[in-house]
Structure 1
Amino acid sequence: MNAPENIEEAIEVLQQLGLKEYEARCFVGLSRVETGTAKKLSELTEVPRTRVYDAIRVLQAQGLVEIHHSSPQRFRAVSLEEATETLRDQYEARVERLQDALDTVEIVDEDDEEPVQQVWSMSGNDGIENRAEELIETADDEIVLVIGDESLLTESLVTTLNEVESGAELLIGALTEPLQEQIQAAIPDATTFISGLEWLHGVDATEDETAIGRLLLIDRSTILVSSIMPVTKEEQAIFGEGFGNGLIVIARRLMSQGLLTERDPAS
């Protein structure tokens, strides 16, 4: 990205963290200069001069900007390290408040019926990764995971997989040898293999086609299957639990294609 794009992205992220547009623009503007007056900041950010003062007061209250009471007043942003730490603390505090509030919300419609096998859809890389890691942490006997794209082998996933209890078998497949080697190096206690699922792409697959994301099977009863959309690179998934039928048997056999029989603990 070029400089204007980086500036707009920074403004957008600050808004997502809770700042209003003028506040975000003023902070980014001040981060580009050593100090600035309201006039200079208005010219740099295209924020109306009268609104600059309002934005600066909010930023100062949040610990992101300092004011020198000269004539005219001069402003400066705190250091990048201090600003990011302050914003992180504020964000985490909001998340904790949200969790505390939701924990006390009364359930008004409790279903007393017997649970049925259901499949749900999900979207978004972060949400799907969080769900996958939560499922891995609940495993008692077996985890079968096939990773179709190197980008999904994140530091967080590696940490979760390395913390799997020794009582659970950990089988991880990859679609390519380089990815298998990367997985084996990152997760040495796992049994790794080249999965036979590359046929899902087809012989003439191109980069414009939907790619395999991750396939996860926990204790032969819970399954998560995802794909990566070709243009947006967004991950989409389906998730289901409570299965104990032929579907799971077939899914496991497909997922473990390429795993030598003598190394398969389920054989």
Structure 2
Amino acid sequence: MTTTDSLEDAIEVLQQLGLKEYEARCFVGLSRLHTGTAKRLSEMTEVPRTRVYDAIRVLEAQGLVEIQHSSPQQFRAVPLDEATETLRDQYEARVDRLHNALDTVEIVDEDDETPVQQVWAMSGRDAIENRTNQLIEKASEEIVLVLGDESLLTEELVARLNDVGDEVTLLIGALTEPLQAQIQTAVPNATTFISGLEWLHGEDVTEDETAIGRLLLVDRSTILVSSIVPGSKTEQAVFGEGFGNGLVVISRRLMAQGLLTARDPKQ
């Protein structure tokens, strides 16, 4: 990534965190200077000089910029670690505020006759990983997880799996022996196995074919299956709960292929 690309990426992220474009450009510009005047900053960032002052006032109020009241005024960005921590605190505060606001909203037209079986689609690795972690956390009896890609064995997932209580049976399948060994080392309390689902990642699979990412069955009633889209490597999933015994039994048998019957506590 070139310097120009890095700068534009930083500006985009700052806007996503709530700064306006001129504010983001001024902060990024100051991060490249020890100190700078409005004129110097305007020349560097292409922000109109009159708008630089407005942007600086906002950045100062947010604790991201310091001002020296000299003639002309000098500006400087706070240290990067301090700035990122300040932005993180502000972002988390907004998220908490959103949660608290929506948590008190009254549900309208709640349907008491919701179908027993439901299937929903979702996209994005972060969202799918969050749903996976929540399902694992809520498990009370059994977790069967098959991973189709080693990149999905994240630190957060490993931590969540290691927090599973002894009262919950934890079965984790892998597609290869190296991945199984990696899982066993990372999650020593789990029963690991080599999945027999060759269609997950067989030798004939090409880069143009969609690959299965993760399969999760919790307490024989909640299922999550994800796929990894070729090219973009984005993850998509379907999630369902409240299934009848037939579908759950079939899903579990498919997911647990390769697990020896003698080691299967639910046989």
What interval of TM-score do these two structures reach, taking the shorter chain for normalisation?
Answer: over 0.9
Say yes or no: does 1:252 pair with 2:252: yes
Quote how far apart the aligned CAs of 1:123 are. 0.5
Quote how far apart the aligned CAs of 1:203 are. 4.4
Q: 2:46 is matched with which residue?
A: 46
1:157-172 counterparts in 2 under 5 A?
A: 157-172=157-172
Residue deviations 1:128-165, cap 9 Å, x none? 11111111111111100011111111111111100001
Uncovered stretches (5+) of structure 1, i.e. residues with no partner:
none
CA distance in 2, matches of 1:240, 1:128: 13
Whether the aligned pair in 2 keeps the contact of 1:123 and 1:237 (CA below 8 Å) is: yes
Whether the aligned pair in 1 keeps the contact of 2:215 and 2:226 (CA below 8 Å) is: yes
Residue deviations 1:71-129, cap 9 Å, x none? 11111000011101111110111011111110111111111215420100000111111
1:216 counterpart SS class: strand
Q: CA RMSD in A?
A: 1.2
Whether the aligned pair in 1 keeps the contact of 2:56 and 2:65 (CA below 8 Å) is: yes
Q: 2:222 is matched with which residue?
A: 222
Q: 1:73 is matched with which residue?
A: 73
Cα distance 1:46–1:126, how it changes in 2: closer, same or farther (>3 A)?
Answer: same
Q: For this pair of structures, how many residues does the alignment match?
A: 267
Whether the aligned pair in 1 keeps the contact of 2:175 and 2:201 (CA below 8 Å) is: no
Question: Letter of the aligned partner of 1:164 in structure 2?
Answer: V
Whether the aligned pair in 2 keeps the contact of 1:220 and 1:244 (CA below 8 Å) is: no
Q: 1:119 is matched with which residue?
A: 119
1:240 counterpart SS class: strand
Question: Letter of the aligned partner of 2:102 in structure 1?
Answer: L
Q: 2:176 is matched with which residue?
A: 176
Whether the aligned pair in 1 keeps the contact of 2:174 and 2:180 (CA below 8 Å) is: yes
CA distance in 2, matches of 1:183, 1:43: 53
Residue deviations 1:149-204, cap 9 Å, x none? 11111111111100001111000011122211111111100011111123234542
Q: 2:137 is matched with which residue?
A: 137
Q: 2:91 is matched with which residue?
A: 91
Residue deviations 1:11-36, cap 9 Å, x none? 11111111011111111111111111
Say yes or no: does 1:190 pair with 2:169: no
Cα distance 1:240–1:159, how it changes in 2: closer, same or farther (>3 A)?
Answer: same
CA distance in 1, matches of 2:208, 2:73: 55
Residue deviations 1:22-54, cap 9 Å, x none? 111111111111111111111211212111111
1:53 counterpart SS class: helix
Q: Normalized against structure 2, the TM-score is what?
A: 0.97
Identity percentage over the alignment?
79
Q: 1:4 is matched with which residue?
A: 4
Quote how far apart the aligned CAs of 1:247 are. 1.4
Cα distance 1:200–1:153, how it changes in 2: closer, same or farther (>3 A)?
Answer: closer
Uncovered stretches (5+) of structure 2, i.e. residues with no partner:
none
CA distance in 1, matches of 2:19, 2:216: 38
Whether the aligned pair in 1 keeps the contact of 2:141 and 2:169 (CA below 8 Å) is: yes
CA distance in 1, matches of 2:100, 2:79: 32
Quote how far apart the aligned CAs of 1:7 are. 1.1
Cα distance 1:176–1:201, how it changes in 2: closer, same or farther (>3 A)?
Answer: closer
Quote how far apart the aligned CAs of 1:233 are. 1.3
